[in-house]
Structure 1
Amino acid sequence: SLLGLFLGVFAVSLRANQFVAGLALAALGLGASGLLGKRYEGVPLPNPLPEGVLAALALALAFGLHLLFSRTRFGLYLRSVGENPKAADLFGVSVDGVRYGALALGGGLIGMAGAYLSLAYRPSWTDGMTSGLGWVAIALVILAAWQPLRAVFGAYLFGLLFFLQFRLQGSVPIPSEAFAAMPYLLVILVLALSGRARAPKALGQPFDRGR
């Protein structure tokens, strides 16, 4: 959440290019995690969290976010700010405030996903352990058309591809590198077709009340 708010300083308050600011923050986070986590590298977690519990929590979060976006006032504000921030501002909605709230919420969820990797999926920390999974998450958002419940099915699709790369190695005459590349090839395909996706109209656009 703190890193999400930090991104908001540049992307929301300073009106910087949101994509450039996001890439810079991702690079900063990668370097900072490598520096701070070096002492924990390779140290096994004595009591790893059960994957089943965290998987159930992820499903509950997806359903909760669906309700938040579709049934609450904050969800209405969030959708209006994403589609037409000028109209939302005319109705008294704090565009910057809603965007800061969304960044804090999104940053917290990203942090939970990172914690899952080191606490359950691989119960130890290693430098660069995400292996580009953040880009998979971006592709998943596009594939799901920004709908939390659709993202659940997309996540299972990506998960199936990750499972197959381990399950089918050695049983079919295909190089293991080809299996390892399958999820990322799907990411490239989704991003290449993202121009057809129904994204929020104000996505990536800074808002200035004076204009």
Structure 2
Amino acid sequence: MDCEVSNGSDLQDERITNLLVFGFLQSCSNHSFHRELEALGHELPQWEEPDEELQTDGNRSSHSPVGRIEADSESQEDVIRSIARHLAHIGDSMDRSIPLDLVDRLALQLRNACRSEEDRRRDLASALEQLLQAHPTDMDKEKTMLVLALLLAKKVADHTPSLLRDVFRTTVNFINQNLRAYVRSLTRNETD
């Protein structure tokens, strides 16, 4: 596989995940990190389709990777925001099932500047595993993991708003590493 194509896919996945996590956090009810989220929104790259070139006839030519969602960037953004709102609604119903001591522990781990991003992803994975064991749901495992990862990000940011950027980055990285195929599937299914 061409390295450039692979990097384009990675950039597309990261954009989708950034938008999904950001949209989820925006859609959550009762959050105390509004200012931090607004500032983060200004720092995130604007939505663009990767690897597109403007042709002389005014159309866009794309050398995109296989599996790219066939939709213009605006409608794709709308689809991802819609998915984020739906996941936030599910998360609101699960919100009370997240133990405060788990959130406290994860916030403390994220606050430790000496921990690597890989350590932080493991901390998030460990917290998710505890939640999955303690609170089985009737949803499929990938959807449950995605909602709980997003919900943990929200809970940590609510607990300590100054950690929003850290928990956002860790959550995006975790999703891209562990749930990338599921997120791609979600976005493809919504555009069909």
> What TM-score does the superposition give when structure 2 sets the normalisation length?
0.26
> What TM-score does the superposition give when structure 1 sets the normalisation length?
0.24
